[in-house]
Amino acid sequence: MFCKNEDEFEMWTHNYIGLKDMNSLKFLDTWYTKNESFLLSKDLYPDKLTSQSGRKLTLTCIRYLPYVLCDEDKTHDRYYGTELRAAVEYAVAHNMTIDFTYNEHKEELWGELYSNWTGTGVMGNIILDKADIALASFETWDFVNPYLDMSAPYLRSSICCLVPRPENFSGWLIPLLSYTNWLWIAILLNFVYNVVTLALINYYYEKKNGFNLKIFSRILMKSFWVLLRISLSQVIMKKFSKHKYSPVRIVILVLFLMYSILDSTFFSGLASTMTTPRTHPPINTVAELGQHNINIYALSDAWKFNIQKADDMLMLLMIIYRDVIENYHLMEEDIFWDYTRFYFRKSSILTPSFDRFITRLTEVGIPARWQAEAIFKFMDSTLQRMLLTLEKQKKPHRDVLKLKIFHVKGAFALLFIGYTIAGVTLLVEIWYYYYNGQQITKANITRHFSVKMN
């Protein structure tokens, strides 16, 4: 507004549109205070955004597929990338001319912002008014808000992770997989408890007066061998108690039923573990990834802006090559995710109209087409298809495999150990009878085994 005199006020505005004289002043109308009217009755707020008459729209970006392909060398005849195409289509829709500005130092990439309203990289180009829009898969970074404006959310972007495929359990440990570790501990503690209980009951009926450690030790050892034979589904060849109606018989019957059930469940589980490949727990969640103490590596500080304030666990960023895909599997959880945004200078007049434009784009799904185009033209399409297949196969899938010696070597190892112990015991018995000058007969050996076991 310009006060020409006390009765006249002239209305002026910036031209804004066009390739030239964007900052020149343009006369709108004159306001007369006496009759409270305008001279020309023109629109005092003309629409300068719908058609900008070729006004230059400067973009700043880095090559970051599939979002942006900044053609700094001008080797391509068209624009590629979900974000770059959106900015270009916005310029076309509003009759603007596209121009680019690039980092003076390519290694600055996304760049940094400083409290004195300067910066480096792509963000520095915006805060220094070298460009109108910054695009390079920017996300909701809170430290940017005091200096730059963010657009509405555009596309969901996430960091997924390929982690080493879980290793197979050692074949020697397969027989132990019928039960969990805690269940094995419970069974062993229960066995010890049963031995002590059986020994105490039997001792009470054999010697009621006082406590004799020697007698109790003998009964305790006898109880151990009896329960060991019961747990291995063997018969008891000698009476354990001298009393015909002793409650020890009832206790042994109950223990026999209990260990029969345990033996059945063990062999059922063994049949399952021997025919189904077993692996160590895979890394599927961010928590499991943090528990494995994997270090964080990144190509730029911008890769960790989303997680640098996280206080829950370690994160992982890694470079993926085709030759490691077969030995890795895709985690079920993303490391982190966010929506990509475009950055504008603070209080930019373009932000509201650009937000409406990208909202319409995402509603109709056009960015998905642009993304596929950039991937199949400039990225490794085979790798992308493999990752897509891994994404679809996150649910556990077990193939039918032929049994190999690896799957059963643990069970055969136990059998071999048992045969070895039996053979060594037999040789020791033969030597024992030979050394003592006794005749080695089937009756003697059977009787000796019975005495030792009972």
Measure the CA angle with vertex 273, ends 270 and 274; round to 5°: 85
Distances (CA, A) of 81 to 94, 109, 284, 290: 20, 17, 30, 33
- For 136, phi then psi, to 5°, come to -175, 50
- For residues 227 and 198, the answer to whether their CB atoms sit within 8 Å is yes
Q: Give 5's Cβ-side CA count (13 Å radius).
A: 3
**pLDDT score recorded for residue 313:** 44
Which has more pLDDT, 297 or 332? Answer: 332
Structure confidence at residue 389 (pLDDT): 61
What is the rounded distance in angstroms from the CA atom of residue 403 to the CA atom of residue 24?
Answer: 83
33 by Cβ neighbours in 10 Å (0-12 / 13-18 / 19+) ranks as exposed
Strand locations in 340-419, DSSP E?
341-345
Residues 174/278, Cβ–Cβ less than 8 Å: yes
Residue 68 or 244, more confident: 68
Mean pLDDT of 297-317: 52
Asked if the model's pLDDT at residue 60 lies above 90, the reply is yes
What tokens were used for 350?
A: 């373009």
pLDDT (tens digit, 9 = 90+) per residue, 223-275?
A: 888 888 888 777 765 665 555 656 777 788 888 888 888 888 887 777 666 66
| pLDDT score at 319 | 40
pLDDT over 70 at 13, yes or no:
yes
The whole-angstrom separation of Cα 323 and Cα 166 is: 17
Alpha helices in 128-212 (DSSP H): 181-206
The more confident residue out of 288 and 391 is 288
CB < 8 Å & 24+ apart, contacts of 115-120? 117/147, 119/147
* Better-scored residue on pLDDT, 145 or 10: 145
Least Cα distance to 56 among 8, 20, 11 occurs for 20
Confidence (pLDDT) at 209: 61
Global pTM exceeds 0.85: no
- What's the pLDDT band for 70 if we cut at 50, 70, 90? confident
- Maximum CA extent, the chain: 144
For residue 338, give the H/E element and its range. strand 336-339
φ and ψ at residue 114, rounded to 5 degrees: -120, 160
E strand or H helix at 267: helix 247-275
Check whether 296 has a pLDDT greater than 50: yes
Element (H, E) at 220: helix 213-231
Measured CA to CA, the distance from residue 15 to residue 24 in angstroms comes to 6
Give the DSSP per-residue string, 83-132: HHHHHHHHHHHTTEEEEEE--SSGGGTT--B-TTS-B-HHHHHHHTTS-S
* pLDDT for position 94: 92
Closest among 451, 366, 380 to 93, alpha carbons compared: 366
Give the tokens for residue 335: 């490391």
Give the model confidence (pLDDT) of 183-212 as tens digits: 888 889 988 998 888 888 877 776 656 667
pLDDT tops 50 at residue 64: yes
